[in-house]
Chain A
Amino acid sequence: MKNEDQPRRRFLRQMLTVVPASAVTPAILMQQGCTDAAKPAAQTDGSRATSADDYKPTYFTDAEWTFVRAAVDELIPADATGAGGLEAGVPEFIDRQMETPYGHGKLWYMQGPFHPDADPLLGYQARFVPRDIYRYGIEACDAWCTQEHGKKFAELPRDTRVQVLEALEAGKIHLEPVGAKLLFATLLKNTHEGYFADPMYGGNRHMAGWKMIGFPGARADFADWIGQPGAKYPLGPVSILGEQA
Chain B
Amino acid sequence: MAIKKDKVDAVMVGFGWTGAIMAKELVDAGLNVLALERGGMHDTATTAKYPNIADELSYVMRGKLFQDLSKETLTFRHSPDGTAVPYRQQGAMLLGNGVGGAGFHWNGLTWRPQASDLQLRSHYEQRYGKGFIPEGMTIQDFGVTYDELEPYFTQFEDVAGIAGKAGNLNGKLVPGGNRFEAPRSKEYPTPPLRDIYGAQLFAKAARELGHEPFPIPAANVSQPYTNPYGVRLGPCNFCGFCEDFGCYMYSKSSPQTTIHPALLDKPNFQLRTHCQVVRVNTDASGKRATGVTYIDAEGREVEQPADMVFLTAFQMHNVRLLLLSGIGRPYDPATGEGVVGRNFAYQMNGGVNAFLPKGTQLNPFIGAGAAGQAIDDFNGDNFDHGPLGFIGGANVRHNRTGGRPIGQAGVPKGTKKWGAGWKSAVQDSYQRMMTIVAQGSVMSYRDSYLSLDPTYRDAYGQPLLRVTFDWHDNELKMTQYTVGQAAKIARAMTDHVDVNVRKGHFDTRVYQSTHTTGGAVMGSDPSTSVVNKYLQSWDVHNLFVIGASAFPQNFGYNPTGLVGALSYWAAHAIRGQYLKNPGPLVQA
Indicate if the CB atoms of B51 and A240 lie closer than 8 Å: yes
A221: chain B residues at CB < 8 Å are: 237, 239
B508–A123 contact, CB under 8 A?
yes
Determine if B80 is an interface residue (Cβ-Cβ < 8 Å): no
Q: Shortest distance in angstroms between B248's beta carbon and chain A's nearest beta carbon? A: 8
Bound Cα distance from A201 to B55, whole angstroms: 10
Q: How far is the CB of B519 from chain A (nearest CB, A)?
A: 20
Q: B472 at interface (Cβ–Cβ under 8 A)?
A: no
Shortest Cβ distance from A93 into B: residue: B57
Pairwise interchain contact A197-B508, C-beta atoms closer than 8 A: no
- A124 interface contact, C-beta 8 A: yes
The answer to whether B54 touches A218 (Cβ under 8 A) is yes
1/0 per residue, CB under 8 A from A, across B368-409: the answer is: 000000000000000000000000000000000001011001
Other-chain contact of A121, B58, B360, B507 (Cβ < 8 Å): B507
- Main secondary structure, interface of B, reads loop
User: Using Cβ atoms and an 8 Å threshold, which residues of chain B touch A119?
Assistant: 78, 505
For the complex, is B62 an interface residue (Cβ under 8 Å from A)? yes
Give chain A residues whose Cβ lies under 8 Å from the Cβ of B83.
115, 118
Interchain CB contact under 8 A, B406 and A216: no
**Selected interface stretch from A104-112, A134-142, A143-151, A174-182:** A104-112
Known: A1-B64, A111-B457, A225-B363. A220 touches B86 (CB 8 A): no
Take A121-B505, A121-B508, A196-B409 as given contacts and tell me if A222 and B238 are in contact as well, using a CB distance cutoff of 8 Å: yes
- With contacts A213-B427, A225-B363, A229-B200 taken as known, whether A122 is within 8 angstroms of B419 at the C-beta atoms is no
Contacting residues, chain B, for A218 (C-beta < 8 A): 50-51, 54-55
Nearest to A125 among chain B residues (CB) is: B85
Q: For the complex, what is the distance from the CA of A119 to the CA of B79, rounded to whole Å?
A: 12
Size of B's binding interface in residues, CB under 8 A:
72
Whether, in the assembled complex, B325 has its beta carbon less than 8 Å from a beta carbon of chain A, the answer is no
Interface string of B496-530 (1 = CB under 8 A from A): 00000000111111000000000000000000000
Check B419–A74 contact: CB distance below 8 A.
yes
Number of interface residues of A (CB under 8 A): 64
| Whole-angstrom distance between the Cβ of A156 and the nearest chain B Cβ | 16
A196 engages B405 (CB within 8 Å): yes
Chain A residues with CB below 8 A from B196, complex form: 226, 229
| CB contact between B431 and one of A125, A197, A214 (< 8 Å): that residue | A214
B186 contacts which chain A residues (CB < 8 A)?
Answer: none
Report A-chain residues with C-beta under 8 Å of the C-beta of B70.
106-110
Is the CB of B463 closer than 8 A to any CB of chain A?
no
Q: Which of A162, A188, A222 has the most CB of B within 10 A?
A: A222
- In the assembled complex, which residues on chain B have CB atoms less than 8 Å from the CB atom of A225? 238, 363, 366
Whether A82 lies near B427 (C-beta < 8 A) is yes
Q: Does A67 contact B (CB under 8 A)?
A: no
Chain B neighbourhood of A118, CB < 8 A: 83, 85
Q: Are A109 and B197 in contact (CB under 8 A)?
A: no
**Extra 5 A-B pairs, beta carbons < 8 Å, given A119-B505, A212-B423, A226-B366:** A110-B88, A122-B85, A215-B365, A220-B248, A240-B52
**Shortest Cβ-Cβ A-B pairs, 4 listed:** A218-B54, A196-B405, A220-B239, A197-B57
Binding site for A on B (CB under 8 A): 40, 47, 50-58, 61-64, 68-70, 72-73, 76-78, 83, 85-91, 194-197, 200, 235, 237-241, 248, 360-361, 363, 365-366, 403, 405-406, 409, 417-420, 422-424, 426-427, 430-431, 455-457, 504-509
Q: Name 14 A/B residue pairs within 8 A (Cβ), A-sorted.
A: A76-B418, A101-B62, A107-B90, A109-B86, A110-B70, A196-B405, A216-B365, A220-B51, A220-B53, A220-B239, A223-B237, A226-B196, A229-B200, A233-B365
